[in-house]
Amino acid sequence: MLKVRRQMENETGRWRRLQRLHLRLLNTFARVFGLSAGVAAIGFTAWAVYYFFHPDAAADDLVTLSGHASVDFLGAGIFCLLLAILFLTVRPYRPDITHAGGADLKRRHTWWTGEPR
């Protein structure tokens, strides 16, 4: 009976380690996605500015929703910028760290993974 109990405790500890790893990776990938959305926003906005000043440079086979390539690229740039802001400013998702009476809200945590400092 003692051997079975230790095996279950080991399984629980392994599960918690895997859960912490999963949550760290989730938060890290969310930050990386936010950074790449910011880079995409810069790229789309740069193309929008280019096509605004050089409307004849757009290829004839470039299909646009609005009829102007600069407007479409600007819309995509704004959308990517909003995604970047949302993913970079959201609090890290860490339900495995206890929140005792709201005391954890004042506690500092790392930006990438949400680990307490």
46 domain residue, yes or no: yes
pLDDT tens digits, 35-53:
999 999 999 999 999 988 9
- pLDDT for 112 beyond 90: no
- pLDDT for 29 beyond 90: yes
pLDDT tens digits, 63-96:
777 778 888 999 999 999 999 999 999 888 777 7
113 domain residue, yes or no: no
35 domain residue, yes or no: yes
- pLDDT for 18 beyond 70: yes
66 domain residue, yes or no: yes
Give me the number of domains the chain comprises: 1
Model pLDDT, residue 115? 77
- Cα–Cα distance list, 105 to 18, 94, 95, 100, 101 (Å): 24, 12, 13, 9, 9
84 domain residue, yes or no: yes
Average pLDDT over residues 7-30: 79
- pLDDT for 108 beyond 90: no
83 domain residue, yes or no: yes
- Domain containing 57 equals 31-90
41 domain residue, yes or no: yes
pTM of the predicted model as reported, rounded to 2 decimal places: 0.74
20 domain residue, yes or no: no
